[in-house]
Amino acid sequence: MDVKSTFLNGVLEEEIYVEQLLGYEIEGADDKFYHLKKVLYGLKQAPRAWYSRIDSYFMRNNFSRSNGEPTLYIKQDKDMFLTVVLYVDDLIFMGNDETLIEEFKEAMKEEFEMIDLVLLRFFLRIEV
- What are the residue boundaries of the structural domains of the chain, listed by start? 2-127
35, burial (CB in 10 Å: exposed 0-12, middle 13-18, buried 19+): exposed
Average of per-residue pLDDT values in the chain: 81
pLDDT digits (tens, 9 = 90+) for 86-97: 888 788 889 999
Q: Phi-psi region for residue 41, left (φ > 0), alpha (ψ -120 to 50) or beta?
A: beta
Give residue 27's identity as a one-letter amino acid code: E
74, 64 in Cβ contact below 8 A?
yes
Backbone torsions φ then ψ of 93, nearest 5 degrees: -140, 155
Single pTM value for the model: 0.71
Encode pLDDT of 4-54 as tens digits.
Answer: 665 556 666 778 777 877 777 778 887 888 777 766 666 677 777 778 888
